[in-house]
Amino acid sequence: MRTYTKYMAVVAAVVVALISVFILSYFWIPTERIGSQRSTTTTIATTSPTMRVTTTLSGVVNGAGATFLNPQMQAWASKFYELTGGRIQVNYQSIGSGAGQAKFREGVLDFAGSDPPLKSDIYNEFKAKGGIIQFPVIIGTIVIVYNIPSVESGKLRLTGEVVAKIYLGEISYWDDPAIKALNPDLNLPHEKIIAVHRSDGSGTTRVFTAYLSKVSEAWKSKVGSDFTVSWPVDELGNGVGGKGNEGVAAAVKQNPYSIGYVETAYAYSTGLAVALIRNRDGNYVLPAKEAVASAAKALVKVLPKADEDWSNIFPDEIIDPPGKESYPLTSFSFVILRQVYDDPVKAAILNEFFKWVLTEGQKPENILEGYDPLPPEVAAIGLDGLKLLRTG
């Protein structure tokens, strides 16, 4: 019995220790943060509007959201951490746009990253509670990839209507007259098209289906646009779902005669064949730097201000922009902030960090491969928006 007592005493000690660690860490960590925040004297009013990174601030801000934004946000955060000598730490967790928005709404996060901006009912809810700032921080593009053994990359020409018909199941073979008419020089096989799509809810699907809704009435009325949609091509047994960009890329690679859509970075890193897409002006384009910049510049006139409701124009209005060189599947990734923060230090840090992201952060050396920088006209939306930050 002596051994039992000993054993139980050890177990009890471990349990008590664990519980006390939890309780202590709960009380401890916030106190430490408050301590570090009190040590600063800077407030928004006194923050200098220079592009230099201030070194008087210190503290932590927490954000989460879009997975698409994640690698770029991590790169920015670590560069900024370095530039401030480790004083400012920006945490970002890649939990998905929807979850990011929901957690931000609950007040758990200091900022959210999101592929689409807020839906209008949520925007109005925030507006009633002190207002919102939402602005683009980076450009992302989506490419249509394919696997036809006899057709090399950059040769296949497609239009949005044809892609919509493929995913609707109305075009089932590669030698369909509609595809042949766009590619008179290619020898297209009589093989069934396997249409690959994302199986997880994603901003990429949201943008891709917004494009299809814009170019095809049938798509708009039968399917619509969202993080996840009900794919008509699946009903025919010709659709495949892949988890994440890597899942879609693998499915396209493994299935000859398939088509899919992925974020541009994944197409190049996996060596998939990329299709030319016809833009609104009738030219066939790839997401080259100029094509993306052209698309972004074409949009400047239609974009709202940071404190306005973006839900009506994004992504449905800004997708497939005009311009001779513009790449149609060009979209933004957003950061969402509140206008009012209780903690002046948090507001100041957010202001400094995103000001840096929108200026220095857009320089080529700070942009990862697969992303495109904002043109200065679009970055200005966020810079103007940051002026609305206040404490209360």
Partner 1 sequence: MNSEKIFPIFLIVFASISLLIVTSIVISLIINSYPIFLRDGFSFIFKSVWNPVKEDYGILPALLGTLISSAIAISIAMPLAISLAIFSAEIAPTSIRGFINSVSDLMASLPSVIYGLWGLYVLAPILNQYIMTPLHQYLGFIPLFSTKPIPTNLFTAGVLLAIMITPFSSSIIREAYNAIPHHLKEAAYSLGMTRWEVIRTLLGYIKSAILAGAFLALGRAMGETVAVAMVVGNTFTLPRSLFDMGYTISSLIANQFPNAEAYSYMMPALYSGALVLFTIGLIINLAGLYWIRRVVTRG
Residues that bind partner 1 (CB under 8 A): 1-2, 4-5, 8, 11-12, 67, 95-99, 101-103, 119, 194, 199-202, 223-231, 234-235, 237, 239-243, 247, 250-251, 254-255
Closer by beta carbon to partner 1, 225 or else 339: 225
Closer by beta carbon to partner 1, 228 or else 391: 228
Closer by beta carbon to partner 1, 201 or else 304: 201
Closer by beta carbon to partner 1, 32 or else 235: 235
Q: Which residues contact 116 (CB under 8 A, 6 or more apart)?
A: 97, 203, 206, 311, 314, 315, 334
**How long a stretch of residues is the chain?**
392
Q: Which residues contact 65 (CB under 8 A, 6 or more apart)?
A: 92, 94, 95, 96, 97, 99, 100, 101, 104, 109, 112, 113, 114, 336
Minimum distance of partner 1 from residue 71's CB (angstroms): 16
What is the rounded CA–CA span in Å between residue 262 and residue 360? 28
Minimum distance of partner 1 from residue 167's CB (angstroms): 12
Contact of 285 with 166, CB cutoff 8 Å: no
Minimum distance of partner 1 from residue 258's CB (angstroms): 8
Minimum distance of partner 1 from residue 62's CB (angstroms): 17
What is the rounded CA–CA span in Å between residue 215 and residue 202? 20
* Chain Cα centroid distance, residue 253: 24
Contact of 150 with 238, CB cutoff 8 Å: no
Reported for 117-123, long-range contacts at CB under 8 A and 24+ positions apart, including other chains, are 117/310, 117/311, 117/314, 117/334, 117/336, 118/309, 118/310, 118/311, 118/336, 119/311, 120/309, 120/311, 120/312, 123/309, 123/310, 123/311
Classified as helix, coil or strand, 346 is helix
Minimum distance of partner 1 from residue 116's CB (angstroms): 9
Closer by beta carbon to partner 1, 6 or else 324: 6
What is the rounded CA–CA span in Å between residue 270 and residue 223? 29
Contact of 112 with 336, CB cutoff 8 Å: yes
Closer by beta carbon to partner 1, 130 or else 256: 256
Minimum distance of partner 1 from residue 200's CB (angstroms): 4
Among residues 170, 273, 156, 164, which one has the least CA distance to residue 212?
164
Among residues 110, 31, 122, which one has the least CA distance to residue 351?
110
Closer by beta carbon to partner 1, 20 or else 254: 254
Closer by beta carbon to partner 1, 72 or else 225: 225
Minimum distance of partner 1 from residue 117's CB (angstroms): 12
Minimum distance of partner 1 from residue 227's CB (angstroms): 4
Minimum distance of partner 1 from residue 251's CB (angstroms): 6
What is the rounded CA–CA span in Å between residue 386 and residue 154? 41
Closer by beta carbon to partner 1, 206 or else 355: 206
